[in-house]
Amino acid sequence: MSEHKLISLEQQTIALAGVAQAARLVDQISRTGSYPLEFLESSIHSLFEFEADSIDKIYGGMAGVKLGLHNLSSLMASKQSQENREIARYVFSLLYLERRFAADPEMMSVVRSRLEHASFRAEHFASHVNDLCHGISGIYQDTLSQLKFRIKVNGSAQHLQNPQNADIIRALLLAGIRSAFLWRQLGGRRWKLVLQRKRLLQTSQNLSRSLGAVSYTHLRAHETERTISYAVYS
């Protein structure tokens, strides 16, 4: 494979890891009500990187998407677990929803404008990530909620009914859609996930190893059993 193609695949992998990270965090919050703040902040702040000169800078550096690279490696390795099946479902739902979103230029323009306004407020008023999520949740509800396709989020009723968790989940879904848009801009296609699975696996594993292991001590704090409760976010 040429150096150009290797760089292109690496960029696609990082963007797809952004989708996987958003999916992983949605799954964790819906089940446990907890989340690793460092990765939540990286995913949310990626929405405000409008003019980054490299894909990894969108996430504040490669380390900002480390959790996503780890989970993407697991998905590409076809490791069968209930958690992986849920994350895979969210990933493909986000890729599908992004295509519906991209087909509506007017909606895309509104989202961009409102994110720029939210970015200005975040920059000048040092907003906490939870406050940012509340504002982004409103953007999501006013725009993507108008599309017919809805993402069903499974988890604990206690956590899904928490308004702050609902805001964070919607904000993460928008972050996942932004990453899906980047992935497609970089040449990513759903059919490539099948035909290039081994290359994606190798690339995501190599990138993940270069960053070190992900600590799961805080990722599994307060974990509860998965329930059949769900909420529809879109």
pLDDT one-digit tens code per residue, 206-230: 999 999 878 654 454 434 444 446 6
Q: Which pLDDT does position 226 carry in this prediction?
A: 44
Q: Which pLDDT does position 224 carry in this prediction?
A: 41
Q: Which pLDDT does position 123 carry in this prediction?
A: 72
CA dihedral 21, 94, 88, 16 (to 10 degrees): -50
pLDDT tens-digit readout, 123-156: 755 568 889 999 999 999 999 999 999 999 999 9
pTM score, whole prediction: 0.91
Q: What is the mean pLDDT of residues 103-113?
A: 97
Domains and CATH numbers, the chain: 3-211+226-233 (1.10.3890.10)
pLDDT tens-digit readout, 177-211: 999 999 999 999 999 999 999 999 999 999 999 99
Q: What is the mean pLDDT of residues 66-94?
A: 92
pLDDT, mean over the chain: 89
What are 145's two structure tokens? 């909620």
Helix 163-185 to helix 82-102 angle (10° resolution) is 70
Residue 16: CB atoms within 10 A of its CB come to: 30
